A and B are shown apart, each in its own frame.
Chain A
Amino acid sequence: MKRTILLWISLALMVTALYLIFVIAPIERTMGIVQKIFYLMVPMGWLALLSFLVVFIGSILYLKKRSLRWDILSYSSAEVGVIFTTLALVTGSIWAKPAWGVWWTWEPRLTATLVLWLIYLTYFMVRSFATEESRGATFAAIVGIIGFIDIPIIVLATTLWRGLHPGALIFQGGLDPTMLLTLIISLLTFSTLYALILMQRISLKNNEVEIKRMKELSQPFN
């Protein structure tokens, strides 16, 4: 029931967002139409961070309470998160080509996103390297906590590295109010989409756990 409502909300938001992006929002002076990728790129980056925040909270709760549902939350959010982080890198790269002429550049945001992507990867790797599943969950939780706390420091270091003062805005010249509205709607759209996908992934994971349990039940004498 909750999910159906969310589905309709996200569909409505998506249509609104697309309309705003392509019909209403003005074309930016210096960059032209390529700037519109921005309305994808920022939400992707935002979701990458939001997902990891959820991983962080889930990890702390898992370590404290030892209840499997928190691990399921963390794992699901990590899986969804790594997908969005990958998309953030891809859209960032597609933006970079017409904007700066190269497919990749070591500018602060892209670099920090790359490191975040790597941290997501280590989150999954440590699970597969563990000797048992519960150990894997604990270790992943540790990575989730350490990784998340590291993110602000990473952003700080990469921003300073490329010479930008950490308080610098994305655009010089501020943001046109229509653009701001479009951006906010895009963010909302993708956030609801994230919630939807996360819930779907969690119930899928719950089913996986359920099946495993039932398989063990149906073979009591191994």
Chain B
Amino acid sequence: MKFWHQVISITWKDTFSEIRTREVISSVLVFTLLVIVIFNFAFGANQETLRLVAPGILWVTFTFTGVLSLNRAFIPEKEQGCLEGLMACPISREAIYVGKMLASLLFMLIIEAIALPVFAFLFNLPILTLPMVTITILATIGFVAVGTLFSALAINTRAREMVLPILFLPVMVPVIISAVNASKMALSGKPWSELASWIQIIGVFDIIFLVVSCLIFTYAIEE
């Protein structure tokens, strides 16, 4: 029980500071929308092409968004010395991981909740379906599971903001492949059975990496 108390307090701390300033969420949100629009200019000659590239655009956008939001999970903390303070508390390292992971998850889900309808609107595609939502949630969990670990690692390096995407993207390849393909099928209205294998891959990824990252996390932030 104490573990979850610690987790909730960390998640709440992050969320609360975000609610108060709102600075990161607004900038990331604007960035996301801009990326969607720019991709439209890059690829969207006609409706046919758009239909083909839409899933790819969606997931590249969310990947960029993910990198941005994960970077902010730890970098400001390190710069203001909060991380040392946090580690001085008798809080288990795993609790820090889960707490931060949940905070980032919440953050990304909110952004996606806003971005998806915009996407549906601009691309004229049926985004707000149960399959799409499931895919988004599962893939985002995958993002934050690995991303929280790597961003904690990144703050102790020299080129902080660059390290996270460099480490993170190759590892996320299977999730991105699966999300794009599953989205492609979901947008064409294919039944669950066809989506199943892709969703299973993301699901397995999530479970494995949540556990592994949690266990390794302590090595990433130790002094």
Contacts and interface: CB of A to CB of B under 8 A. Distances in A.
Asked if chains A and B are in direct contact (CB within 8 A), the reply is yes
Interface of A: 63, 115, 118-119, 122, 125-126, 129-131, 135, 138-139, 141-143, 145-147, 149-150, 153-154, 156-158, 160-161
Contact of A142 (B173, B208, B219): B219
Contact of A153 (B181, B205, B216): B205
B167 A122 contact: yes
A161 B177 contact: yes
Interface stretch (B45-53, B113-121, B149-157): B149-157
Interface string B105-128: 000000000000000000000000
A151 B163 CA distance: 20
Nearest to A126: B167
A150 B174 contact: yes
Given A153-B204, A158-B177, A142 B157 contact: no
A176 to B, nearest CB: 32
A126 B174 contact: no
Contacts of B188: none
Contacts of B158: 129-131
Nearest to B217: A142
A138 to B, nearest CB: 6
Contacts of A154: 173-174
B156 A142 contact: no
B209 interface: yes
B213 interface: yes
A150 B170 CA distance: 9
Contacts of A145: 212, 216
Chain A binding surface, main DSSP class: helix
B201 interface: yes
A156 B174 contact: yes
A139 B174 contact: no
A160 B177 CA distance: 9
A130 B216 CA distance: 17
Q: B interface, how many residues as a size bin?
A: 20 to 34
Given A129-B158, A131-B158, A146-B209, A157 B201 contact: yes
A153 B222 CA distance: 29
B89 interface: no
B178 A142 contact: no
Contacts of B212: 145-146, 149
A115 B157 contact: no
B220 interface: yes
A126 B153 contact: yes
Contacts of B171: 119, 146-147, 150
B88 interface: no
B163 A129 contact: yes
A160 B201 contact: yes
Contacts of B208: 149, 153
A160 B197 contact: yes
Given A139-B153, A149-B212, A115 B173 contact: yes
Given A126-B163, A135-B156, A160-B197, A142 B149 contact: yes
